[in-house]
Amino acid sequence: MTARTATVLSVAAMVALAGCAHKPKQLPPPPPESSVPSSGDTGAPSGNVGGSIVPGSRADFLQQVGTDTVHFDTDKSDVNSEGQGILASQARWLVAHRNVRVTLEGHCDERGTREYNLALGDRRATSAKNVLVAAGVSADRISTISYGKERPVATGSDESSWAQNRRAVTVVPQ
């Protein structure tokens, strides 16, 4: 769990460094994390063995697809054209790795009430899932979860942070 979070956060940090959240991002592969101990998913195979990326792993997914995250406009849950492109790329990877099950996390910025944001996060996760399914990924390989505004990646109270936090994240097991 800790390692996964670190990966998500580091990717998010790179997204932030890449600048505007509305442009396609060409991201470098995530830094190797060859011997990071996993506190939670101890049964899952490591994505990196001896520095090489294992096909079908999260590291492989992030390297091939570039990002696990699509962003949304304020109070919106429809996937914009940039997000469609990212999800299409994710779908190609998922179709090629048929044994991988993923979780789609829906998130919101802090400027919403708690209950509504939980529901909105669910709507975002469902919206992204629907795009993957339409692109050929079996629906039963995708579970969804909403965190509402509980798990921001950007911790500021400004438009830039809020834009980064309005997101759906495709979480591939380590």
Partner 1 sequence: MKARLIAAALTLLGSTAALAQVPATQAAPGAGPQPGQRLVVDITGGISQPMPIAIPTMPTPVVAHSAAGQTDALGVQVAQIVLNDLKGSGLFKPVAADHAVAFPQVTAPDYGYWTTTGASALVQGFVQANGDGTLTVGCYLYDVSAKQELARQGFVVSPAQWRRAAHKCADTVYTRVTGEGPYFDSRVAYVSETGPKNRRVKRLAIMDQDGANHHFLTNGQSLVLTPRFAPGQQEIVYMAFTNNRPRIYTYDVGSGRQKLVVDAPNMTLSPRFSPNGQSIVYSMSVGGNTQIYRVSASGGTPTRLTNAPGINTAPCYSPDGTKIVFESDRSGGQQLYVMDSDGGNQHRISFGGGRHATPVWSPRGDLIAFTKIGGGFNVGVMAPDGSGERTLTHGWQDEGPTWSPNGRVIMYFRTGQGSGKADLWSVDLTGVNERRIPTPLDGSDPAWSPLLP
The residues of the shown chain that bind partner 1, judged by CB under 8 A, are 5, 9, 75, 77, 110-116, 118-120, 122-123, 126-127, 130, 145-147, 150-153, 155-157
- Are the C-beta atoms of residues 30 and 7 closer than 8 Å to each other? yes
What CA–CA distance (Å, rounded) separates 49 from 101? 21
Spatial strand order of the sheet with 102-107 comes to 69-71, 167-171, 102-107, 142-148
* Nearest of 8, 15, 50 to residue 33 by alpha carbon: 50
Is the CB of 88 or the CB of 145 nearer to partner 1? 145
Is the CB of 66 or the CB of 152 nearer to partner 1? 152
What CA–CA distance (Å, rounded) separates 111 from 115? 12
Is the CB of 53 or the CB of 118 nearer to partner 1? 118
Structure-block tokens of residue 125: 């996760």
Smallest distance from the beta carbon of 111 to partner 1, in angstroms? 7
Is the CB of 51 or the CB of 115 nearer to partner 1? 115
Is the CB of 141 or the CB of 151 nearer to partner 1? 151
Smallest distance from the beta carbon of 106 to partner 1, in angstroms? 10
Question: Which phi and psi angles does 130 have, rounded to 5°?
Answer: -60, -35
Smallest distance from the beta carbon of 71 to partner 1, in angstroms? 17
Residue identified by tokens 């795009």 is: 131
Amino acid identity at 128: A
Smallest distance from the beta carbon of 52 to partner 1, in angstroms? 30
Smallest distance from the beta carbon of 32 to partner 1, in angstroms? 24
